[in-house]
């Protein structure tokens, strides 16, 4: 049985002989269900091999329908529309909320897998991590988002990946893979499928530098906003803000934002 509720099932039945996959989520557009897709698909698939699987939520309309749609997409390599129509053919009232539909589309875009280095997926996970810290009142990053924090470039054996160094002390700060591009004057949105392609095909802005969080940013996973200081010489190199984001000189606002001041860092050629 797959139970996707904001609270666990009440103790009204003997579930000792039933395997339960429990996902505590609300039926809200900003809720992160995508992170559970792979685990839920594997659970349903295993249950199907053993017998039957009940997938449910409070109304049986949005959360449970999203997981069943996801399962059909993965198993039969279907599009969101094809899989959802198959579910609706059995239960006409189903209708995932707009956020869950966007997550299903992203899952389809990634080839029915969670691709960690996919830029659109990175934008999604940053937004979900911010919601976890801000909306849910948490002050520490949820464990499931910890791998968003990138390794300190000073610990990397290959300096060819270094994109920017501190202008004051020349210490490596940013690897090329850490950079989050954006278009001039345009705030990137995770649901925009153009970010699933190669960013070098887009006309991106180079006035401001934004990145994923990096391990040398000591307070970034436990405080909602602050300044970024070079880990070697302590010169101020930027700012971060999980809630309000940071502004680029081009007019774009990146939320959450980890912004580097261009005059404080040097690009490596």
Residue 16 pLDDT: 56
Quick one: 107 and 143 in the same domain?
A: no
How many domains does the chain divide into? 2
Residue 127 lies in a domain: no
- Give the model's pLDDT for residue 155: 87
Please state whether beta strands 253-254 and 257-260 pair in parallel, antiparallel, or not at all (unpaired): unpaired
* DSSP state letter for 196: G
| Structure confidence at residue 260 (pLDDT) | 98
CB 55 within 8 A of CB 62: no
Mean pLDDT of the chain: 89
Task: Tell me, yes or no, whether 108 and 194 share the same domain.
Answer: no
> At which of 114, 130, 159 does a domain end?
114
Mean pLDDT of 121-144: 84
| Residue 52 lies in domain | 2-114
Domain-embedded: residue 95: yes
Same domain, 143 and 262: yes
Q: What is the pLDDT of residue 15?
A: 57
130 lies in some domain = no
155 and 249 inside one domain: yes
- Phi, psi at residue 174, to the nearest 5°? -135, 130
Specify whether 176 is located in the same domain as 238: yes
Measure the CA–CA gap between 5 and 94, rounded to whole angstroms: 16
**Torsion angle (degrees, nearest 10) of CA 34, 243, 147, 193:** 50
Q: Give the pLDDT mean for 58-82.
A: 95
Residues 262, 180, single domain; the answer is: yes
Q: Residue 85: is its pLDDT beyond 60?
A: yes
Instruction: Name the catalytic one among 57, 205, 230, 246.
Output: 57
Q: Which of 222, 217, 219, 207 is nearest to 153 (CA)?
A: 217
User: Would residue 57 show up in a list of annotated catalytic residues for this protein?
Assistant: yes
Q: What are phi and psi of 105, to 5 degrees?
A: -65, -40
Round to whole Å and give the CA distance between 105 and 194.
12
Q: Considering the domain boundaries, does residue 132 fall inside one?
A: no
pTM above 0.95, yes or no: no
Is 231 part of a structural domain of the chain? yes
Q: In CATH, what number is assigned to the domain containing residue 88?
A: 3.90.190.10
Residues 64 and 165 in one domain: no
pLDDT at 205 over 60: yes
Q: Rounded CA gap, 59 and 115, in Å?
A: 31
Whether residue 169 sits in one domain with residue 86: no
Same domain, 144 and 260: yes
Tell me if 128 is assigned to some domain. no
Handedness of CA 144, 148, 152, 153 (dihedral sign): positive
Q: Which of 98, 114, 130 is the last residue of a domain?
A: 114
The answer to whether position 123 is within a domain reads no
Element (H, E) at 199: none
**pLDDT tens for each residue of 206-255:** 899 999 999 999 899 989 999 999 999 999 999 999 999 999 999 999 99
Do 187 and 243 share a structural domain?
A: yes
25 and 97 housed in the same domain: yes
Q: Is residue 161 located within the same domain as residue 201?
A: yes
């Amino acid at each position: 049985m797959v139970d996707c509720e904001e609270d666990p099932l009440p103790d009204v039945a003997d579930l000792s002989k039933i395997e339960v996959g429990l996902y505590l989520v609300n039926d809200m557009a900003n809720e992160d269900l995508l992170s559970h897709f792979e685990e839920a698909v594997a659970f349903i698939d295993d249950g199907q091999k053993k017998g039957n699987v009940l997938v449910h939520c409070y109304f049986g309309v949005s959360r449970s329908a999203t997981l069943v749609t996801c399962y059909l997409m993965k198993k039969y390599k279907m599009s969101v529309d094809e899989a959802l129509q198959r579910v609706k053919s059995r239960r006409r009232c189903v209708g995932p909320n707009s956020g869950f539909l966007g997550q299903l589309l992203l899952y389809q875009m990634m080839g029915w897998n969670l691709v960690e280095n996919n830029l659109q997926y990175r934008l999604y996970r940053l937004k979900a991590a911010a919601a976890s810290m801000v909306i849910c009142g948490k002050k520490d990053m949820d464990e499931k988002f910890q791998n968003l924090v990138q390794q300190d470039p000073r610990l990397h054996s290959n300096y060819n990946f270094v994109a920017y160094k501190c202008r004051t002390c020349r210490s490596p700060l940013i690897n090329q893979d850490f950079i989050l591009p954006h278009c001039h004057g345009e705030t990137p949105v995770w649901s925009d499928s153009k970010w699933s392609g190669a960013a070098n095909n887009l006309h991106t802005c180079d006035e401001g530098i934004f990145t994923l969080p990096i391990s040398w940013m000591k307070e970034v996973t436990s405080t909602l906003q602050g300044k970024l200081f070079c880990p070697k010489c302590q010169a101020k190199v930027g700012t971060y803000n999980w809630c309000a984001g940071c502004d680029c000189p081009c007019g774009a606002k990146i939320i959450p934002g980890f912004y580097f001041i261009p005059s404080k860092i040097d690009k490596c050629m």
